[in-house]
Amino acid sequence: MRFEKIKSHAKVNLSLKVLGKRKSKLHDLETLVAFVDLHDQIFIKRTNNKNHIVKFSGDFSNKVPKINTVSNLLNILDKKKKLKNKYSILIKKNIPQEAGLGGGSMNAASLINYFEKKNKINLTLKERYDLCSKIGSDVILGIDQKNLIISYKKKTTKIKKNLKMFVLMVKPNFGCSTKVIFNRVRHYSKPQLSKLKSKNIDFNLMSKLKNDLEIISTKKYPRLQKLRDYFLNIDKNSYVRMSGSGSTIVGYFKSKKAALNAKKLLRKNYKNYWCNLSKTI
């Protein structure tokens, strides 16, 4: 049997509001999410082995822990007896870890999509949400990677609109722990996007939105603040925002020419930082 290929796209948070904290200690979030053409590559096929085989390769494979989102997903599905077969899964990691780009979460979401589309598992909406929440809070966002998504508590609104932006992602040579950053949250925001309509989402609106975690991450990591400040001064017609809990700083551009110019300057001044130019899908 040949391997089938799956694209697992990176996500960027165009905005992120922390609304409160549950008894489970997880936070309620409101976030505007888009997906970009940067992606991990997942190769999967059925195996006659007694156990699943999960292997990672690529530039960012060395930091993937033995117990990860994919192994957790397979373990949960096996315990619930949802999967009848075992699988060999090879993942080429092009998305860095601890970057706020949802690499691991999107890997799990992509596999859930694959198993459902191939009729390998059959989940109700509630089962799908429960499964995603047990693996990671971002996983549910990756169930449909072609849409812009607004998420408020357990509700997601899929907006079929490509924002047609060029996205320049720059990650310092350190990562941000999601747990550490969220543990430093002391203030909560009010929801702003719950009544937002697709037609009103444009470049100007998004430039005015914020990420509540950005001030926490940049305060903890002054180098992140320095990178953000440099980024802001490159092009006045773009806007800059941290994705997720960091450490990736993202610049959003209307034109490819402006994005390429910014990429050239950033690579010159931050030679040791990861830099990737993508576009929304």
Helical residues (DSSP H) of the chain, grouped into ranges: 69-79, 103-117, 125-135, 178-183, 203-208, 214-220, 222-232, 256-269
Apex CA 187: angle with CA 185 and CA 188, to 5°? 105
Pairing between β-strand 86-92 and β-strand 27-47 as defined by DSSP bridges: antiparallel
Which active-site residues does the annotation give? Answer: 11, 138
Which residue in 206, 195, 99 sits closest to 163, CA to CA? 206
Which residue in 90, 98, 32 sits closest to 274, CA to CA? 98
User: What's the count of helices (H) and strands (E) in the chain, helices before strands?
Assistant: 8, 10
